[in-house]
Copies of this chain bind each other. A is one copy, B any other.
Amino acid sequence: MTRKVYMNGSFVDEQDAKVSIYDSSLMFGDMVFEMTRSFNGEQFKLREHIKRLLTGIKIFRIPLEETEDSIYEKCLLTIDQNKGEFKDDDEHRLMIDVSRGLLDIYKGVDGLHKEANLIIADFPLRWTVKSMGILFDQGINAFISSQRAIPARYLDPKIKNRSRVFYLMANIEAAQVRYPNTWALMLDDDGYITEGTGDNFFIIKDGVVITPEGRNILRGISRDYVIYELCKELKLECVQKNIEPYDVYNADEAFMTGTPFCMLPVTSLNELQIGSGERGPIFNLILKKWSENIGLDIESQIKSWDEGNNDKNIGTSPYQFSKK
């Protein structure tokens, strides 16, 4: 048996889930997508992910005839198809891809799906987070890459799209640093902190949770959850505003959010410790609340999947480049 991937109306074996080289996505990075996760098998914020996907489809003007509901149904169906392929302690990570389909000039090729594509894959979350357990203890060393975030006026990062090879370029830089557990953090043109390469950044100062304005970043679903739900429930003030490295050096705590790992502490910036240099109490508070809300211990679960990879900087970031 094998995992199945939904592709434009039918299910195919995972290794057959492929896109034609003539597809617009492989010509331009012309694809919008979402990646979700489950807790105890229940998808988290799936509708929010689909809503964001639809915004990208609209702005990219991809002629896909689907609604929030129809995509939602197909996601559930895909999970259902794959039930037997997951271990009991696994969580489902969905990847939902939408591309424009074949460019006009290639429509003469026989046997190809020519219209816009909707693809939904479902694979174990542990793939992504298997070497992250240690980061809950050691914390991430954030590293300001010379690669800057592409400002929204050129290509809006708020659209979760596949035209983002500069994320890889930032990761490559981070991998050149001596210090272990180093993840890239990008500045924008003005020197404001934006985001990691697949994660959002927060600091805590004098009890206030602060995160960059939702401008030159992807507005992560986990980011929204922290801002609009967890902080509210915990009665923590949370503000979105421009942050500079100076503010991070002066912060009491810092962390990253991302769908697969939820939250990870950032304990230094460019090797200078943030606050005590240890994971802090407000991080703990938020993570605990999150775990309570979804009914499982997020940190323990990730640690339970640990495969003992101790090669630092390799595999720590979910989007790490392939390094010899």
Contact = CB atoms under 8 A, between A and B. Distances in A.
Interface of A: 2, 5, 14-15, 17-22, 24-31, 55, 58-61, 63, 95, 97, 100-101, 103-106, 108-112, 119, 121, 123, 127-128, 130, 143-148, 150-156, 158-159, 161-169, 172-173, 176-179, 187, 190-191, 215, 242, 244-246, 249-250, 270-272, 315, 318-322, 324
A126 to B, nearest CB: 9
Nearest to A101: B322
Contact of A17 (B20, B97, B190, B215): B20
Given A108-B127, A150-B154, A178-B178, A165 B163 contact: yes
Q: Is the interface of A mostly helix, strand, loop or mixed?
A: loop
Given A59-B272, A159-B246, A177-B176, A164 B17 contact: no
Nearest to A117: B21
Contacts of A101: 322
Contact of A244 (B58, B106, B172, B215): B215
A242 B108 CA distance: 40
Contacts of A30: 165, 168
Q: Nearest 9 A-B pairs (CB), nearest first?
A: A29-B29, A153-B191, A18-B18, A15-B111, A163-B165, A146-B146, A29-B163, A163-B163, A150-B154
Nearest to A149: B154
B100 A321 contact: yes
Contact of A177 (B60, B159, B177, B191): B177
Contacts of A60: 165, 168-169
Contact of A167 (B28, B147, B162): B28
A26 B97 CA distance: 9
A249 B163 contact: no
Contact of A109 (B15, B105, B119, B155): B15
A58 B249 contact: yes
A203 B166 CA distance: 25
Given A105-B127, A164-B29, A168-B30, A121 B15 contact: no
Contacts of A24: 168, 322
Identify which of A105, A130, A144, A249 gathers the most chain B CB atoms within 10 Å of its CB.
Answer: A105
Contacts of A63: 322, 324
A207 B246 CA distance: 32
A242 B270 contact: no
B18 A158 contact: no
Nearest to A247: B158
A90 to B, nearest CB: 13
